[in-house]
Amino acid sequence: MSWAILCESSDLAVQCLAAAEAIGLAVSTAVAEGAELREAALQKLAEHEPTAVVFLTEPALDDLVELSHAARTHAQPIAVALPAQSDETRVLLEVAGELGLCAVAELRPLVAALSLLGAGASDAHAAQARSLGPADRARLRGVLGSGGKGQLVNVDTLRVGYLAESATQPVALGEAADVRDALLALKRRERQEKEVVSSVDVDARAVLDVIFGPRRALSDPASKSALAPYGIPLPVEELCSSPSRAAAEASRIGFPVRLSLASPDLRIWDHPDLSVDMVDNAARVRDTFRQLIAAAQARFQADPKLAHGEQRILGALVTATSEPLALLGVRATALPRERVALRIGFADPHGRAARDETVTVLPAEQALIERALRRLSGAALLLETSPAQRKTRVDNVVDVLQRVAAFVNDRRREIEGVELRPLAVLLDGSVEVREACVRVSDWFERSNQ
Protein backbone atom coordinates (compact mmCIF):
# COMPACT_ATOMS: atom_id res chain seq x y z
CA MET A 1 0.00 0.00 0.00
CA SER A 2 1.31 3.44 -0.98
CA TRP A 3 0.24 6.45 1.05
CA ALA A 4 -0.30 10.01 -0.16
CA ILE A 5 1.04 12.40 2.50
CA LEU A 6 -0.12 16.00 2.12
CA CYS A 7 1.96 18.51 4.08
CA GLU A 8 1.46 22.16 4.96
CA SER A 9 5.13 22.99 4.27
CA SER A 10 7.97 21.68 2.12
CA ASP A 11 10.11 21.05 5.23
CA LEU A 12 7.48 18.69 6.60
CA ALA A 13 7.29 16.90 3.24
CA VAL A 14 11.05 16.29 3.23
CA GLN A 15 10.96 15.04 6.82
CA CYS A 16 8.07 12.69 5.99
CA LEU A 17 9.98 11.22 3.06
CA ALA A 18 13.05 10.65 5.25
CA ALA A 19 11.00 9.02 8.03
CA ALA A 20 9.18 6.77 5.54
CA GLU A 21 12.41 5.78 3.77
CA ALA A 22 13.96 4.77 7.10
CA ILE A 23 11.35 1.99 7.51
CA GLY A 24 10.84 1.21 3.82
CA LEU A 25 7.31 2.64 3.60
CA ALA A 26 6.11 3.63 0.13
CA VAL A 27 4.76 7.20 0.17
CA SER A 28 4.29 10.16 -2.12
CA THR A 29 4.23 13.71 -0.78
CA ALA A 30 2.67 16.97 -1.89
CA VAL A 31 2.57 20.46 -0.38
CA ALA A 32 -0.56 22.58 0.06
CA GLU A 33 -1.57 25.34 2.46
CA GLY A 34 -4.72 26.48 4.21
CA ALA A 35 -8.00 25.49 2.59
CA GLU A 36 -6.11 23.91 -0.33
CA LEU A 37 -4.64 21.32 2.05
CA ARG A 38 -8.06 20.09 3.12
CA GLU A 39 -9.42 20.12 -0.45
CA ALA A 40 -6.41 18.14 -1.70
CA ALA A 41 -6.92 15.53 1.04
CA LEU A 42 -10.64 15.26 0.28
CA GLN A 43 -9.80 14.75 -3.39
CA LYS A 44 -7.31 11.98 -2.59
CA LEU A 45 -9.89 10.20 -0.44
CA ALA A 46 -12.51 10.55 -3.19
CA GLU A 47 -10.02 8.86 -5.53
CA HIS A 48 -9.83 5.98 -3.00
CA GLU A 49 -6.22 6.69 -2.11
CA PRO A 50 -5.00 6.10 1.48
CA THR A 51 -4.15 9.56 2.77
CA ALA A 52 -2.30 11.30 5.57
CA VAL A 53 -2.33 15.02 6.32
CA VAL A 54 0.45 16.84 8.19
CA PHE A 55 -0.60 20.21 9.59
CA LEU A 56 1.90 22.93 10.41
CA THR A 57 -0.76 25.03 12.16
CA GLU A 58 -3.63 23.78 14.29
CA PRO A 59 -6.52 22.73 12.04
CA ALA A 60 -10.04 23.95 12.57
CA LEU A 61 -12.57 21.46 13.85
CA ASP A 62 -14.36 21.90 10.52
CA ASP A 63 -11.32 20.39 8.77
CA LEU A 64 -11.24 17.34 11.04
CA VAL A 65 -14.98 16.78 10.63
CA GLU A 66 -14.75 16.96 6.83
CA LEU A 67 -11.77 14.58 6.72
CA SER A 68 -13.56 12.12 8.99
CA HIS A 69 -16.71 12.24 6.88
CA ALA A 70 -14.79 11.73 3.63
CA ALA A 71 -12.79 8.79 5.03
CA ARG A 72 -15.98 7.12 6.23
CA THR A 73 -17.84 7.84 2.95
CA HIS A 74 -15.08 6.46 0.74
CA ALA A 75 -14.02 3.68 3.16
CA GLN A 76 -10.39 4.84 3.13
CA PRO A 77 -7.91 4.97 6.02
CA ILE A 78 -6.68 8.43 7.01
CA ALA A 79 -4.13 9.73 9.48
CA VAL A 80 -3.21 13.24 10.60
CA ALA A 81 -0.16 14.69 12.31
CA LEU A 82 -0.13 17.86 14.39
CA PRO A 83 3.55 18.62 15.10
CA ALA A 84 2.89 21.94 16.91
CA GLN A 85 2.95 21.22 20.65
CA SER A 86 0.43 23.03 22.84
CA ASP A 87 -2.42 22.22 25.19
CA GLU A 88 -4.86 22.95 22.37
CA THR A 89 -3.04 20.54 20.06
CA ARG A 90 -3.19 17.75 22.62
CA VAL A 91 -6.95 18.25 22.89
CA LEU A 92 -7.27 18.23 19.09
CA LEU A 93 -5.48 14.87 19.01
CA GLU A 94 -8.14 13.45 21.31
CA VAL A 95 -10.98 15.01 19.32
CA ALA A 96 -9.52 13.72 16.05
CA GLY A 97 -9.41 10.24 17.54
CA GLU A 98 -13.03 10.52 18.65
CA LEU A 99 -13.90 11.43 15.06
CA GLY A 100 -12.22 8.23 13.86
CA LEU A 101 -8.94 9.74 12.63
CA CYS A 102 -5.54 8.21 13.44
CA ALA A 103 -3.91 11.31 14.95
CA VAL A 104 -0.31 11.67 16.16
CA ALA A 105 1.89 14.56 17.19
CA GLU A 106 5.11 13.71 15.33
CA LEU A 107 6.21 12.40 11.96
CA ARG A 108 7.99 9.16 12.91
CA PRO A 109 4.92 7.93 14.85
CA LEU A 110 2.88 8.97 11.80
CA VAL A 111 4.78 6.69 9.41
CA ALA A 112 4.71 3.91 12.03
CA ALA A 113 0.92 4.27 12.17
CA LEU A 114 0.68 4.25 8.37
CA SER A 115 2.77 1.07 8.25
CA LEU A 116 0.51 -0.58 10.84
CA LEU A 117 -2.65 0.42 8.99
CA GLY A 118 -1.20 -0.74 5.70
CA ALA A 119 -0.43 -4.13 7.22
CA GLY A 120 -4.01 -4.50 8.41
CA ALA A 121 -3.64 -3.51 12.08
CA SER A 122 -6.81 -1.44 12.46
CA ASP A 123 -6.59 -0.96 16.22
CA ALA A 124 -4.23 -1.26 19.18
CA HIS A 125 -5.55 -4.74 19.99
CA ALA A 126 -4.33 -6.19 16.69
CA ALA A 127 -0.81 -6.98 17.91
CA GLN A 128 0.83 -8.89 20.74
CA ALA A 129 4.29 -8.12 22.10
CA ARG A 130 5.41 -11.48 23.44
CA SER A 131 7.99 -11.83 20.64
CA LEU A 132 9.68 -8.54 21.53
CA GLY A 133 12.73 -8.20 23.72
CA PRO A 134 12.07 -7.34 27.39
CA ALA A 135 13.13 -3.69 27.03
CA ASP A 136 10.72 -3.01 24.14
CA ARG A 137 7.93 -4.92 25.89
CA ALA A 138 8.40 -2.64 28.88
CA ARG A 139 8.21 0.44 26.63
CA LEU A 140 4.89 -0.74 25.18
CA ARG A 141 3.35 -1.91 28.45
CA GLY A 142 -0.16 -0.60 28.94
CA VAL A 143 -0.72 0.23 25.27
CA LEU A 144 -1.43 -3.14 23.69
CA GLY A 145 -4.62 -5.07 24.17
CA SER A 146 -4.90 -8.82 24.39
CA GLY A 147 -5.96 -11.45 21.89
CA GLY A 148 -4.40 -9.79 18.83
CA LYS A 149 -3.45 -12.17 16.03
CA GLY A 150 -0.51 -10.11 14.77
CA GLN A 151 2.89 -9.97 16.42
CA LEU A 152 5.27 -7.12 17.19
CA VAL A 153 8.81 -8.31 16.57
CA ASN A 154 12.32 -6.86 16.61
CA VAL A 155 13.49 -6.40 13.02
CA ASP A 156 16.92 -5.22 14.23
CA THR A 157 18.51 -3.86 17.41
CA LEU A 158 16.66 -0.53 17.22
CA ARG A 159 13.48 -1.06 15.22
CA VAL A 160 10.20 -2.80 15.93
CA GLY A 161 8.15 -4.44 13.17
CA TYR A 162 4.67 -5.87 12.77
CA LEU A 163 4.04 -9.39 11.52
CA ALA A 164 0.45 -9.91 10.40
CA GLU A 165 -1.15 -13.32 11.01
CA SER A 166 -0.95 -14.41 7.36
CA ALA A 167 2.34 -12.66 6.52
CA THR A 168 5.75 -14.31 6.24
CA GLN A 169 7.82 -11.14 6.71
CA PRO A 170 7.26 -8.27 9.15
CA VAL A 171 6.90 -4.66 8.06
CA ALA A 172 9.17 -2.19 9.85
CA LEU A 173 7.52 0.38 12.13
CA GLY A 174 10.36 2.25 13.82
CA GLU A 175 11.72 2.58 17.32
CA ALA A 176 9.60 1.41 20.23
CA ALA A 177 8.79 4.96 21.40
CA ASP A 178 7.39 5.80 17.94
CA VAL A 179 5.44 2.54 17.85
CA ARG A 180 3.96 3.34 21.24
CA ASP A 181 2.67 6.72 19.97
CA ALA A 182 1.29 5.05 16.84
CA LEU A 183 -0.54 2.42 18.89
CA LEU A 184 -1.95 5.12 21.16
CA ALA A 185 -3.28 6.88 18.06
CA LEU A 186 -4.96 3.65 16.95
CA LYS A 187 -6.40 3.28 20.42
CA ARG A 188 -7.81 6.82 20.35
CA ARG A 189 -9.57 6.15 17.03
CA GLU A 190 -11.64 3.30 18.44
CA ARG A 191 -14.78 5.26 17.73
CA GLN A 192 -18.39 4.59 18.50
CA GLU A 193 -20.00 1.46 17.16
CA LYS A 194 -22.80 3.23 15.32
CA GLU A 195 -23.61 6.66 13.98
CA VAL A 196 -25.34 8.75 16.64
CA VAL A 197 -28.04 11.21 15.60
CA SER A 198 -28.65 14.35 17.63
CA SER A 199 -32.42 14.76 17.71
CA VAL A 200 -35.07 15.83 20.20
CA ASP A 201 -38.81 16.05 19.50
CA VAL A 202 -39.81 19.68 20.06
CA ASP A 203 -42.45 22.24 19.20
CA ALA A 204 -40.51 24.04 16.46
CA ARG A 205 -42.97 26.95 16.39
CA ALA A 206 -42.38 27.65 20.09
CA VAL A 207 -38.65 27.99 19.44
CA LEU A 208 -39.11 30.06 16.28
CA ASP A 209 -41.40 32.53 18.04
CA VAL A 210 -38.58 33.33 20.48
CA ILE A 211 -35.61 33.56 18.13
CA PHE A 212 -37.34 35.26 15.17
CA GLY A 213 -35.89 38.69 14.47
CA PRO A 214 -32.66 40.50 13.63
CA ARG A 215 -29.17 39.40 14.55
CA ARG A 216 -28.81 39.80 18.32
CA ALA A 217 -27.94 38.14 21.61
CA LEU A 218 -31.08 37.04 23.42
CA SER A 219 -31.49 37.89 27.07
CA ASP A 220 -31.20 35.13 29.63
CA PRO A 221 -35.01 34.72 30.01
CA ALA A 222 -35.52 34.69 26.23
CA SER A 223 -32.63 32.24 25.73
CA LYS A 224 -34.12 29.90 28.31
CA SER A 225 -37.51 30.15 26.59
CA ALA A 226 -35.88 29.06 23.33
CA LEU A 227 -34.08 26.16 25.03
CA ALA A 228 -37.00 25.00 27.18
CA PRO A 229 -38.78 23.02 24.42
CA TYR A 230 -35.66 20.85 24.19
CA GLY A 231 -36.13 19.71 27.76
CA ILE A 232 -33.04 21.47 29.07
CA PRO A 233 -33.33 21.66 32.88
CA LEU A 234 -33.96 25.17 34.18
CA PRO A 235 -34.24 26.42 37.76
CA VAL A 236 -37.49 27.50 39.33
CA GLU A 237 -37.47 31.25 38.70
CA GLU A 238 -39.58 34.24 37.75
CA LEU A 239 -38.75 37.45 35.90
CA CYS A 240 -39.97 40.42 37.91
CA SER A 241 -40.17 44.07 36.89
CA SER A 242 -40.81 45.66 40.30
CA PRO A 243 -39.61 45.22 43.91
CA SER A 244 -43.06 44.27 45.15
CA ARG A 245 -43.53 41.63 42.45
CA ALA A 246 -40.08 40.23 43.27
CA ALA A 247 -40.98 39.96 46.97
CA ALA A 248 -44.26 38.23 46.15
CA GLU A 249 -42.59 35.70 43.85
CA ALA A 250 -39.85 35.05 46.39
CA SER A 251 -42.49 34.23 48.99
CA ARG A 252 -44.17 31.87 46.53
CA ILE A 253 -40.91 30.12 45.57
CA GLY A 254 -39.70 29.94 49.13
CA PHE A 255 -36.78 31.62 50.91
CA PRO A 256 -33.87 31.90 50.52
CA VAL A 257 -33.75 33.00 46.88
CA ARG A 258 -31.24 34.35 44.41
CA LEU A 259 -31.81 37.70 42.68
CA SER A 260 -30.04 38.35 39.36
CA LEU A 261 -30.28 41.26 36.98
CA ALA A 262 -31.95 40.39 33.67
CA SER A 263 -30.44 42.29 30.75
CA PRO A 264 -29.16 41.19 27.32
CA ASP A 265 -26.39 43.80 27.66
CA LEU A 266 -25.09 42.94 31.14
CA ARG A 267 -24.41 39.25 31.52
CA ILE A 268 -24.01 37.90 35.03
CA TRP A 269 -20.91 35.94 33.98
CA ASP A 270 -19.29 39.28 33.13
CA HIS A 271 -20.81 41.15 36.08
CA PRO A 272 -21.11 38.69 38.98
CA ASP A 273 -21.89 41.50 41.41
CA LEU A 274 -25.29 41.85 39.70
CA SER A 275 -26.42 38.59 41.30
CA VAL A 276 -27.08 38.13 45.02
CA ASP A 277 -27.65 34.73 46.61
CA MET A 278 -29.30 33.67 49.87
CA VAL A 279 -31.78 36.56 50.14
CA ASP A 280 -33.92 35.37 53.03
CA ASN A 281 -36.92 37.67 53.46
CA ALA A 282 -39.29 39.93 51.50
CA ALA A 283 -37.82 43.19 52.76
CA ARG A 284 -34.34 42.18 51.65
CA VAL A 285 -35.73 41.09 48.28
CA ARG A 286 -37.18 44.56 47.69
CA ASP A 287 -33.95 46.28 48.78
CA THR A 288 -31.80 43.95 46.70
CA PHE A 289 -34.00 44.50 43.65
CA ARG A 290 -33.56 48.29 43.89
CA GLN A 291 -29.80 47.92 44.43
CA LEU A 292 -29.39 45.69 41.37
CA ILE A 293 -31.30 48.09 39.11
CA ALA A 294 -29.31 51.07 40.43
CA ALA A 295 -26.02 49.22 39.96
CA ALA A 296 -26.97 48.28 36.41
CA GLN A 297 -27.89 51.85 35.54
CA ALA A 298 -24.59 53.07 36.94
CA ARG A 299 -22.78 50.38 34.92
CA PHE A 300 -24.47 51.61 31.75
CA GLN A 301 -23.41 55.18 32.40
CA ALA A 302 -19.83 54.24 33.26
CA ASP A 303 -19.25 52.18 30.12
CA PRO A 304 -18.97 54.35 26.96
CA LYS A 305 -19.97 51.40 24.80
CA LEU A 306 -23.23 51.03 26.72
CA ALA A 307 -23.97 54.64 27.63
CA HIS A 308 -25.29 55.50 24.16
CA GLY A 309 -27.09 52.23 23.60
CA GLU A 310 -30.63 51.18 24.35
CA GLN A 311 -29.73 50.27 27.95
CA ARG A 312 -32.13 47.36 28.20
CA ILE A 313 -33.00 46.29 31.74
CA LEU A 314 -35.77 43.70 31.87
CA GLY A 315 -35.94 43.50 35.64
CA ALA A 316 -34.59 40.84 37.99
CA LEU A 317 -34.88 37.09 38.09
CA VAL A 318 -35.99 35.58 41.37
CA THR A 319 -34.63 32.04 41.53
CA ALA A 320 -34.83 29.21 44.03
CA THR A 321 -31.48 28.80 45.78
CA SER A 322 -29.67 25.51 45.16
CA GLU A 323 -26.24 24.41 46.35
CA PRO A 324 -23.87 23.54 43.47
CA LEU A 325 -21.16 20.91 43.55
CA ALA A 326 -19.55 22.33 40.39
CA LEU A 327 -20.18 25.10 37.87
CA LEU A 328 -19.52 24.37 34.20
CA GLY A 329 -19.43 26.63 31.18
CA VAL A 330 -20.57 25.33 27.79
CA ARG A 331 -20.28 26.99 24.37
CA ALA A 332 -21.89 25.24 21.41
CA THR A 333 -21.44 26.11 17.73
CA ALA A 334 -22.42 24.32 14.53
CA LEU A 335 -19.90 22.35 12.45
CA PRO A 336 -20.35 20.82 8.99
CA ARG A 337 -22.02 17.45 8.47
CA GLU A 338 -24.61 18.04 11.22
CA ARG A 339 -21.93 18.09 13.88
CA VAL A 340 -21.72 20.48 16.82
CA ALA A 341 -18.60 21.68 18.64
CA LEU A 342 -18.90 21.89 22.42
CA ARG A 343 -16.28 23.74 24.44
CA ILE A 344 -16.68 22.69 28.07
CA GLY A 345 -14.86 24.05 31.11
CA PHE A 346 -15.22 24.91 34.76
CA ALA A 347 -16.95 28.26 35.23
CA ASP A 348 -15.87 29.00 38.80
CA PRO A 349 -13.14 31.65 39.29
CA HIS A 350 -10.38 29.07 39.74
CA GLY A 351 -11.44 27.10 36.67
CA ARG A 352 -11.61 30.22 34.51
CA ALA A 353 -8.22 31.44 35.73
CA ALA A 354 -6.65 28.05 34.99
CA ARG A 355 -8.46 27.84 31.62
CA ASP A 356 -9.57 24.37 32.59
CA GLU A 357 -11.58 23.50 29.49
CA THR A 358 -11.74 21.03 26.66
CA VAL A 359 -13.61 20.56 23.41
CA THR A 360 -15.56 17.71 21.90
CA VAL A 361 -17.79 17.07 18.92
CA LEU A 362 -21.38 15.83 19.13
CA PRO A 363 -23.39 13.75 18.39
CA ALA A 364 -21.40 11.01 20.09
CA GLU A 365 -21.99 8.07 22.36
CA GLN A 366 -22.04 8.76 26.08
CA ALA A 367 -18.71 6.97 26.63
CA LEU A 368 -16.94 9.41 24.30
CA ILE A 369 -18.56 12.43 25.96
CA GLU A 370 -17.50 11.13 29.37
CA ARG A 371 -13.98 10.67 28.00
CA ALA A 372 -14.01 14.34 27.00
CA LEU A 373 -15.08 15.34 30.51
CA ARG A 374 -12.16 13.35 31.93
CA ARG A 375 -9.78 15.62 30.03
CA LEU A 376 -10.67 18.46 32.41
CA SER A 377 -8.11 18.95 35.16
CA GLY A 378 -10.91 19.20 37.71
CA ALA A 379 -12.73 16.13 36.42
CA ALA A 380 -12.29 14.39 39.77
CA LEU A 381 -14.83 16.80 41.24
CA LEU A 382 -17.46 15.28 38.99
CA LEU A 383 -16.26 11.73 38.53
CA GLU A 384 -14.28 10.58 41.58
CA THR A 385 -17.13 9.39 43.77
CA SER A 386 -19.27 6.31 44.21
CA PRO A 387 -20.32 4.55 40.97
CA ALA A 388 -23.98 5.40 41.54
CA GLN A 389 -23.31 9.09 42.15
CA ARG A 390 -20.92 9.30 39.21
CA LYS A 391 -23.49 7.69 36.91
CA THR A 392 -26.19 10.14 37.99
CA ARG A 393 -23.97 13.18 37.46
CA VAL A 394 -22.56 12.01 34.15
CA ASP A 395 -25.97 10.94 32.82
CA ASN A 396 -27.45 14.34 33.65
CA VAL A 397 -24.53 16.39 32.28
CA VAL A 398 -24.37 14.33 29.08
CA ASP A 399 -28.13 14.61 28.62
CA VAL A 400 -27.92 18.42 28.74
CA LEU A 401 -24.98 18.48 26.32
CA GLN A 402 -26.86 16.26 23.87
CA ARG A 403 -29.96 18.44 24.07
CA VAL A 404 -27.95 21.62 23.53
CA ALA A 405 -26.26 19.99 20.55
CA ALA A 406 -29.66 19.03 19.13
CA PHE A 407 -30.85 22.63 19.51
CA VAL A 408 -27.78 24.05 17.75
CA ASN A 409 -27.96 21.44 14.99
CA ASP A 410 -31.66 21.96 14.37
CA ARG A 411 -31.29 25.77 14.32
CA ARG A 412 -27.88 26.05 12.64
CA ARG A 413 -29.24 28.53 10.06
CA GLU A 414 -30.92 30.84 12.52
CA ILE A 415 -28.38 30.96 15.36
CA GLU A 416 -24.64 31.49 15.69
CA GLY A 417 -24.29 29.54 18.91
CA VAL A 418 -25.34 28.99 22.51
CA GLU A 419 -23.50 29.68 25.74
CA LEU A 420 -24.45 28.27 29.13
CA ARG A 421 -22.63 29.77 32.08
CA PRO A 422 -23.00 28.32 34.49
CA LEU A 423 -24.44 24.88 34.06
CA ALA A 424 -24.71 24.02 37.74
CA VAL A 425 -24.15 20.42 38.85
CA LEU A 426 -26.01 20.17 42.14
CA LEU A 427 -25.15 18.10 45.19
CA ASP A 428 -27.84 15.51 44.41
CA GLY A 429 -26.44 14.99 40.90
CA SER A 430 -29.13 16.96 39.09
CA VAL A 431 -28.20 19.91 36.87
CA GLU A 432 -29.69 23.28 35.98
CA VAL A 433 -28.83 26.04 33.53
CA ARG A 434 -28.48 29.20 35.58
CA GLU A 435 -27.72 31.59 32.73
CA ALA A 436 -27.95 31.12 28.97
CA CYS A 437 -27.29 33.19 25.88
CA VAL A 438 -28.56 32.26 22.42
CA ARG A 439 -26.95 34.35 19.68
CA VAL A 440 -29.30 34.77 16.73
CA SER A 441 -27.73 35.10 13.27
CA ASP A 442 -28.79 37.42 10.45
CA TRP A 443 -30.58 34.57 8.65
CA PHE A 444 -34.08 36.04 9.11
CA GLU A 445 -32.93 39.38 7.69
CA ARG A 446 -31.22 37.73 4.72
CA SER A 447 -34.15 35.42 3.99
CA ASN A 448 -36.50 38.42 3.69
CA GLN A 449 -34.35 40.30 1.19
Shortest CA distance to 265 belongs to which of 291, 299, 230? 299
- In angstroms, the CA 359 to CA 342 distance is 6
List every span in the chain annotated with CATH 3.30.1490.20.
Answer: 236-320
**What local confidence, expressed as pLDDT, does residue 193 receive?**
47
List every span in the chain annotated with CATH 3.40.50.2300.
Answer: 3-188
**What local confidence, expressed as pLDDT, does residue 236 receive?**
94
**What local confidence, expressed as pLDDT, does residue 325 receive?**
94
- Residues in CB range of 47: below 8 A, 6 or more apart: none
List every span in the chain annotated with CATH 3.30.470.20.
Answer: 324-447
**What local confidence, expressed as pLDDT, does residue 147 receive?**
67
Q: Which CATH architecture has domain 236-320?
A: 2-Layer Sandwich (3.30)
What is the distance in angstroms between the CA of the first residue and the CA of the last residue of the chain? Answer: 53
- In angstroms, the CA 406 to CA 197 distance is 9
DSSP state of 232: -
**What local confidence, expressed as pLDDT, does residue 211 receive?**
97
Q: Is 148 exposed, middle or buried (0-12, 13-18, 19+ CB in 10 A)?
A: middle
Q: What residue ranges of the chain have pLDDT lower than 50?
A: 193
CB 131 within 8 A of CB 152: yes
**What local confidence, expressed as pLDDT, does residue 86 receive?**
81
**What local confidence, expressed as pLDDT, does residue 187 receive?**
87
3-188 CATH: 3.40.50.2300
Q: Does domain 324-447 have CATH number 3.30.450.20?
A: no
Q: Is the model's pTM score more than 0.85? A: yes
CB 424 within 8 A of CB 440: no
**What local confidence, expressed as pLDDT, does residue 199 receive?**
67
